[in-house]
Structure 1
Amino acid sequence: MSRAGEQGRTLIVSNRLPVQAKVVGGRPRLQRSSGGLVTGLEGVHGPGRSLWIGCLGLATTKSLGLSDDDRRFLDEHGLVVVEVPQELYDGYYEGFSNSAIWPLFHYNPDRCHFSATMWEAYREVNQKFAETIAARAEPGDRVWVHDYQLMLVPDLLRRLRRDLTIGFFLHIPFPSAELFRILPWRGEILTGLLGADLVGFHTLEYMRHFSNAVARVAGLEPQMDTLSYGRRQVRLGAFPLGVNVRDLHEVARSPEAEAHLAQLRESYRDRTVLLGVDRLDYTKGIPERLMAFGSFLERHPRWVGKVTLVQVSVPSRVNVGEYRQLKEEVDGLVGRINGRFGTAGYVPVHYIFRNLDKPYLMALYRRADIALVTPIRDGLNLVCKEFVAAKGDEPGVLILSEFAGAAAEMGEAVLVNPWNRDNVISAIEAALEMPIETRSSMMASLSERLSRYDNRAWSTNFLDALDEAAEVNRRSGYAATMEPDADELCRRAREARNVFLFIDYDGTLVPIVDKPELAVPPEAVCDLIREMAAVPNFRAAIVSGRDRAFLERYLPKEIALVAEHGACIRRAGEDECVHLVDQAAYQELRENVLGVMLDFERRIPGSKIEEKEFGIVWHYRMADPIFAQQQALVLADTLGGLLQHTPLGVLISKKAVEVRHVGVNKGEGVRALLEEEGFDPSQDLLITAGDDRTDEDMFRVYPAVNVSISVSDTPLAASYVMERESFVALLEEITRQGLRQENPLSGDRAGRRSG
C-alpha cells in the first residue's frame, strides 16, 4: 500500500511541464500538453498533493513575459518552471539528449554526435533541475525524475538533499552494455542514475542491460534486482506504462468519434484497412513498413484494390536536417507505391502528416482492421495499447514489432522482426486471413490485461516500490550513519593516554586497483605511516588480507603489521613474525585447493591466483564481471565442499575468492595487539578503519568505545562513514596534532598514565 498520504507530496520532474508556452497573436499563452507521461501521471499530480517541475519548452518565463494570470495558473496547478536560457537548453535538449543519448539508446550509434560542449550543457541543465528541486522540496517529500534528459539529476540532487526519497524512470530503451560503453561519459551517466533509491524501466530486458552496464562499467555486483552503492541499496524494477483504458474506450464511442467513424467506414467501404500511427522518427520504422507493404502488394496482387494502409505521421523535429531527409524518404516511398499500384478509384497508401484530434484518432483505430506497429526500436510504444483500448471487444489484429517494449506484455499479438521484410509480409497475409473469432479473442485478451494494468496501476506500482526501497535504506541504519566530528576526534586523541589505530590497506589507505600487485603505496602514504609511528603515544598497525611479504616490501618497518586477516603479526620495528595459526594445516590441503583454482583460472580469462603464506586467493577483477561473478559462487561452493571438517574456510570478498584459516580474522589480530599493549577503554582511544566485510571483525572489537570508520560504498557495521580521501586527511590531521605536542606525557595525561 502506498505511503503517499503519510509522506507528503510527490515531486514529479520531467524535461517539460504538462503545459507549453506558445506564442499566439504575438503574445505567449499557456496550453495544456498531451502525451503518455501526462496521462500516466494523471492519478499522481493534483493540487496540494504534488508539484510538477520542468521547463516550458519554448523559452524561459523571463523571455516570454508571462502575464500575472499565467503565473497564477502555474502556482494553482503546482507547476514549477526551471529557468534555462534558450541557447543552453538547445545544447542540452537538441544537442546531447537527442543527438547522443537518443540515437545511442535506440541502437543507432552511427547517428550519434558526441560533443564536450553539448555534454557540459547537459550537465549544467541537470544541475539547474537538481537545485530547483532541492529548493522546493520539503522534508518527507519524494521525488520522481523522468527520462533520458535528466539522468544526472538523482545523484546531483542527493548531494544537495540526502534526506529525500528519489526515484527515476527511463521511458526509452536502455541499450546493451556493449553499446552503452560507446558513450564517452558512460561512468557519469551511471553515477547519476545510481543516486536514486529506485531505477525503473519498461521491461526486464532493459533492467538487465542496465545491471550488466553497472557491472562492466562501474565494477559493481548487482544481486537480482538490487545493488549496493553509496552505502545504500539501489533497487531496479520493470514497470511497463499503461494507458487510461476507460477514457480511451469512452472517447472512441463519443458522438464525435461515432460521426468520424461513419465517415471512415464510407471512405474505406469494402476495404481492409491497415493502420500505422507514429511520430516521424527514424526509430519508428516507417520506411521499412512502407517497403514491406509495397512488397506485399507485389507478391499478392489479389489484394491490390482491397487493402489500404493508412499511415499517420505526427510531425517531429522538422527543423533538424536528418528528420527532413526522413520525411522526404517517406514521401518518396508513398508516391512510388501509389504510383505503381494505385488506380482512379484506389489509393494503396493514405498518408496523413499532421496531428489528429483524439476523437478522430479513436475512430481511426476502430475502423482499422489491422494495426501495423513495427518500430525498429521503441522503449514501449503506446499506439498498440491505444488501438486495443479503442477496439474493446471489437475484432482486430495487432502486428507488433518484437523490438517494441510492449511486446514483452502483449504476447497475443502477431510479433514480427521489422528488419525481416519477409516476416512482416507473412504477418500481414496471416492477419488478413485470420478468422473473426481469433481476431475477437486477441482483442478481448489484450483488452482485459490492459484494463488491469492501466496508467494508474503503473504509477501506483512504481511509487509503492519506491517507498519500499527508501524504507529498506531507512531501516538498515546505514543511511543515517555520518562522518565523525573531526575536531572532536582530534581533541579525544590529544587527551587519550594512548591512541590505537588499526587501518586496512587496500581500499582504505590506497585505492583499489584492477591488478592487486600494482597497489603500491605512494610516498605520501609511507610518510604518513612514519609520522604516525613517531608520535610517542600512537600504537598503529596496518591490518590487511595481504601476505606479510608484500606488506614488508612496501611499508615502513616502523609500523606493526597484521597480515593475512590476522594469521600473523609483525610488531613495529621487528623482523620476526608471530603466527596465530598453524601453517601446516594449509600446506596439507594446498595441492587440492590449488588444483581447483587452477581449473577456474584456465577457464576464465583475466582471472589469476595469488598464493600467500597461510592461504590462496583467486582474483577476478580483470575478468568478465558477469560471468566471473557467477563462477565465483560456483568456485566458493566447490571449495566449501572440499574443505568441510578442516580448519580452512572460504571467504568471498571484493572480486576475489579466498581460502584461509577459519579460526582467525582481523578482529582476532587487533584483539591480540590490544591485550599485549594493555589497552584500557577508559583511558585510551581506539580507531579502526576499513572498506569491506572482513574489516567488520575489527569494528566488533570493544564496540562500545571503538571509533569504527567505513570508507566503503557497501554498507558496513561501522559507527561512521567517510570517503577514502577524507579519512586519509583526517588521519593526517590527528597525526599532525600528535606530533605538535611537545611533551605527550605532561599534565593530566601523564598523571593518568602513571596511575
Structure 2
Amino acid sequence: MGRLIVVSNRVATPTETKGSAGGLAVGVFGALKDAGGVWFGWSGDVVSETVANAGPALEQDGAVTFATVGLTRKDYDQYYRGFSNATLWPVFHYRNDLARYEREEYAGYRRVNAWLAHKLIKLLEPDDVIWIHDYHLIPFAEALRSEGVTNRIGFFLHIPFPAPQILLNIPPHEELVKSLSCYDLLGFQTATDQQAFHDYVTRHARGTVSNGNQVEAFGRKLRTGVYRIGVFPDEIADQAKRYESRQHVLDLKQSLEGRKLIMSVDRLDYSKGLVERFRSFELLLERSPEWRGNVTLVQIAPPTRSDVATYQKIRQDLEYEAGRINGRYSGLDYTPIRYLNQQYDRWKLMSLFRESQIGFVTPLHDGMNLVAKEYVAAQNPDDPGVLVLSIFAGAAAELSGALLVNPHDAIGMSEALQQALQMPLAERQRRHEINMAALRKNDLGVWRDSFLRDLRSVPLRNTGEGGGHK
C-alpha cells in the first residue's frame, strides 16, 4: 500500500492534530499515521516572494511529514480572499447576492493551484495516493495531470455543491467542472450534493452518469460517492464528562442560577443563520413570557475572514441584534443572549454542550455541520439535551432524533425551542439514543476509510508499471 498524500488549503500543525483540531484534521491525521505520508498545503502565513518560492517547510512527526508553503500578498488576495471566499463560498452556499466575480482573481486562483501542485510533485512517489480537500483546490488535479502525474487522485468537497442553476452564476462554471473531472473519485457530503453534480454533467457538460456513480464528462471517466463526515462520538462523550467539573463549567452554572441553557457555536459566517437564530429566540421570549428570565442563549461565534467585507457586516448585524434583544428583555440580574466573539478550546466547548438543555444549530446551508454531531455526542445519556437542527445542514439526513426546523421560519424555530424546553426526559433519552446510533454507524473513521478504500480501488489512468508520475 502506497503512502497517503493529503492536500488541504491549511495544514494543521502536529500540535493541533493532537489538541483542539476539528474533524478534518483528526480524520486525515489518523489515516496519515496508519499509511505514512505527507500533509501538504498553505502554512497560513503571508510571506515575501523570496520565501514563497523556497521549498516547502518540512516537519516530521513519526511517519507523517507536514509540508507547508507561504503565500504572497497577491496570491492570498486573489486565490484565498478573492475567488475562493468571495466567489465560490457564497455561490456554493446559495448566496449569489453576496458573490463577486473578477477575472483577475479567478486567474490567480488557477495560478496558485498550479504553483502548489508543482511544489507537491517534488515530494511524490510513484505509488502514492493523493487526497485533495475542498473548494480552494478544485483545479489541483488538473494541474498535476498537466505535469504528467498519473497517481490516483481523489477530491472531497466539505461544503455543499450547488444546483446547476446556482452554479451557472459563476462565469467559468464549465472550467471548474472540467477541472473536477480530472479526479478519479469525487466525494460529497450528501446525496443531494452528488445529484447536483450529476445534473450539471448531464444538462450542461454533455456528459453521462451510469450505474449510479460512474461519470463520463469532457472525455474523462470518474466515480462519485457520498461520504458523510462524522466524529468519534464515544471519545467526545468521554471528553465532555471528564471536563464537566472544571472551573469554567462551574462558573457558567453558577451564573445561570438555575436557568435553562441554549448553546450555539459557529464560525462568524453569513451561511450559519445567526441573525435568524437570534430573532427566533426573541420570538420565544415575546410569545412565551414565562421564559423571560428563565432561559439564556449562549452564542459563541469566533471571527473568521475578518478582512472580507461581508464578514465585517455579519459581525455588525449580529452585535446590533444581540444588543437590541438584550436591551428589550434584560433585567438587573438577567441577560438573555450572551454573545461571545472569540475562540474556545474544543474540550471546553464539549463540556459546555453537556451542561446545556438545547443545542441550537440552524445554518441556512451547510455541507455537514459537525457541531450538531458534537453536541449530540457530548450529552449526558441519563439527562440529554435536545438538538434543534436546520433542515439545510447535511447532518439533518442522519440525525432523525433532532427537532428539524426551517431557518427561514422564525416562528417555527421559536416553537421548536419551546418544545425542546418542555420535552419529557423519556422522549429526550429516546431521541438521544437514535442520534447516537447514527453517529456510531457513520463515525469519522468510516468516512475516512470508506473514501480511501474506494479511491484505492479505482483503476490507474495509465497502465504502465505501477502508474505513478512521470
Q: Per the alignment, in what secondary structure is the counterpart of residue 297 of structure 2?
A: strand
Q: Which amino acid aligns with 2:369?
A: N
What residue number does 2:235 align with? 247
2:315 and 2:18 mapped to 1: Cα distance?
A: 27
Give the alignment partner of residue 364 of structure 1, picking from 342, 345, 352: 352
Q: Which amino acid aligns with 1:395?
A: P
Q: Which amino acid aligns with 2:432?
A: M
Q: How does 1:188-227 map to 2 (within 5 A)?
A: 188-223=175-210, 224-227=212-215
Q: Does 2:3 correspond to 1:18? A: no
Q: Which amino acid aligns with 2:91?
A: L
Residues 1:249 and 1:75: Cα distance change in structure 2 (over 3 Å):
closer
Deviation at 1:229, TM superposition (A): 3.9
What residue number does 2:397 align with? 408
Q: Unaligned regions of 5+ residues in structure 1, if any?
A: 1-5, 22-29, 482-755
Q: Per the alignment, in what secondary structure is the counterpart of residue 266 of structure 2?
A: strand
Q: Which amino acid aligns with 2:150?
A: D
Q: Which amino acid aligns with 1:247?
A: E
Over 6 Å off, 4+ runs: 30-33, 61-65
2:125 and 2:249 mapped to 1: Cα distance?
A: 49
Do the aligned partners of 1:261 and 1:366 also contact (CA within 8 Å) in 2? no
Q: Which amino acid aligns with 1:323?
A: Y
What residue number does 1:98 align with? 85
Cα shift readout 1:449-477 (whole Å, capped 9, x = no counterpart): 21232111110011111122x13x56xxx
Cα shift readout 1:637-681 (whole Å, capped 9, x = no counterpart): xxxxxxxxxxxxxxxxxxxxxxxxxxxxxxxxxxxxxxxxxxxxx
1:59 and 1:153 mapped to 2: Cα distance?
A: 21
1:17 and 1:31 mapped to 2: Cα distance?
A: 13
2:206 and 2:252 mapped to 1: Cα distance?
A: 57
2:29 and 2:443 mapped to 1: Cα distance?
A: 12
1:274 and 1:129 mapped to 2: Cα distance?
A: 43
Deviation at 1:320, TM superposition (A): 2.4
Give the alignment partner of residue 278 of structure 2, picking from 263, 286, 290: 290
Residues 1:120 and 1:74: Cα distance change in structure 2 (over 3 Å):
farther
Q: Per the alignment, in what secondary structure is the counterpart of residue 361 of structure 1?
A: helix
Give the alignment partner of residue 137 of structure 2, picking from 123, 147, 150: 150
1:188 and 1:32 mapped to 2: Cα distance?
A: 39
Q: Which amino acid aligns with 2:308?
A: V
Do the aligned partners of 2:244 and 2:354 also contact (CA within 8 Å) in 1? no
What residue number does 2:115 align with? 128
2:442 and 2:173 mapped to 1: Cα distance?
A: 33
2:88 and 2:61 mapped to 1: Cα distance?
A: 30
Do the aligned partners of 1:152 and 1:189 also contact (CA within 8 Å) in 2? yes
Q: Which amino acid aligns with 1:305?
A: G
Do the aligned partners of 2:155 and 2:183 also contact (CA within 8 Å) in 1? yes
What residue number does 1:646 align with? none
Residues 1:320 and 1:227: Cα distance change in structure 2 (over 3 Å):
closer
Q: Does 2:415 correspond to 1:418? A: no
Give the alignment partner of residue 182 of structure 1, picking from 169, 174, 177: 169
Which structure ranks higher in relative contact order (CA pairs < 8 Å, sequence separation ≥ 6)? 2
Deviation at 1:74, TM superposition (A): 7.9
Deviation at 1:83, TM superposition (A): 4.9
Q: Say what the alpha-carbon RMSD is for the aligned residues.
A: 2.6
Q: Which amino acid aligns with 1:13?
A: V
Residues 1:84 and 1:329: Cα distance change in structure 2 (over 3 Å):
closer
Q: Which amino acid aligns with 2:157?
A: L
Q: Does 2:456 correspond to 1:467? A: yes
Deviation at 1:118, TM superposition (A): 0.1
Q: Per the alignment, in what secondary structure is the counterpart of residue 30 of structure 2?
A: coil
Q: Does 2:309 correspond to 1:312? A: no
Do the aligned partners of 1:20 and 1:57 also contact (CA within 8 Å) in 2? no
Count of aligned positions: 459
Cα shift readout 1:212-252 (whole Å, capped 9, x = no counterpart): 11122211021221112466531111101111223322221
2:242 and 2:269 mapped to 1: Cα distance?
A: 31
Q: Per the alignment, in what secondary structure is the counterpart of residue 58 of structure 1?
A: strand
Do the aligned partners of 1:396 and 1:442 also contact (CA within 8 Å) in 2? no
Residues 1:147 and 1:435: Cα distance change in structure 2 (over 3 Å):
same
1:441 and 1:143 mapped to 2: Cα distance?
A: 41
Q: Which amino acid aligns with 1:186?
A: H
Residues 1:77 and 1:140: Cα distance change in structure 2 (over 3 Å):
closer
Higher Cα radius of gyration? 1
Q: Which amino acid aligns with 2:115?
A: K
**TM-score, normalised via structure 1 length:** 0.58
Q: Does 2:71 correspond to 1:84? A: yes
Q: Per the alignment, in what secondary structure is the counterpart of residue 42 of structure 1?
A: helix
Do the aligned partners of 1:74 and 1:80 also contact (CA within 8 Å) in 2? no
Deviation at 1:62, TM superposition (A): 7.4
Do the aligned partners of 2:201 and 2:217 also contact (CA within 8 Å) in 1? no
Give the alignment partner of residue 3 of structure 2, picking from 9, 14, 27: 9
What residue number does 1:436 align with? 425
Q: Does 2:332 correspond to 1:344? A: yes
Cα shift readout 1:190-216 (whole Å, capped 9, x = no counterpart): 011111111001000000001111122
1:242 and 1:90 mapped to 2: Cα distance?
A: 32
2:143 and 2:174 mapped to 1: Cα distance?
A: 14
Residues 1:387 and 1:72: Cα distance change in structure 2 (over 3 Å):
closer
Deviation at 1:158, TM superposition (A): 2.1
Deviation at 1:37, TM superposition (A): 1.4
What residue number does 1:34 align with? 21
Instruction: Among all aligned residue pairs of Structure 1 and Structure 2, give the percentage whose two residues are the same amino acid.
Output: 36
Q: Per the alignment, in what secondary structure is the counterpart of residue 464 of structure 1?
A: helix
Residues 1:60 and 1:430: Cα distance change in structure 2 (over 3 Å):
same
Residues 1:91 and 1:20: Cα distance change in structure 2 (over 3 Å):
farther
What residue number does 2:363 align with? 375
Cα shift readout 1:546-599 (whole Å, capped 9, x = no counterpart): xxxxxxxxxxxxxxxxxxxxxxxxxxxxxxxxxxxxxxxxxxxxxxxxxxxxxx
Cα shift readout 1:706-743 (whole Å, capped 9, x = no counterpart): xxxxxxxxxxxxxxxxxxxxxxxxxxxxxxxxxxxxxx
Q: Per the alignment, in what secondary structure is the counterpart of residue 261 of structure 1?
A: helix
Deviation at 1:256, TM superposition (A): 6.8
1:47 and 1:62 mapped to 2: Cα distance?
A: 35
1:264 and 1:377 mapped to 2: Cα distance?
A: 31
What residue number does 1:334 align with? 322
Residues 1:229 and 1:326: Cα distance change in structure 2 (over 3 Å):
closer
Q: Per the alignment, in what secondary structure is the counterpart of residue 18 of structure 1?
A: coil
Larger deviation: 126-135 or 451-460?
Answer: 126-135
2:32 and 2:245 mapped to 1: Cα distance?
A: 28
What residue number does 2:101 align with? 114
Q: Which amino acid aligns with 1:242?
A: G
What residue number does 1:449 align with? 438
1:312 and 1:116 mapped to 2: Cα distance?
A: 36
Q: Per the alignment, in what secondary structure is the counterpart of residue 401 of structure 2?
A: coil
What residue number does 2:468 align with? none
Q: Per the alignment, in what secondary structure is the counterpart of residue 279 of structure 1?
A: coil
Q: Which amino acid aligns with 1:141?
A: D
Cα shift readout 1:35-80 (whole Å, capped 9, x = no counterpart): 3311221321228711011010113497679xxxx85558974012
1:240 and 1:412 mapped to 2: Cα distance?
A: 17
Residues 1:128 and 1:383: Cα distance change in structure 2 (over 3 Å):
same
Deviation at 1:149, TM superposition (A): 0.3
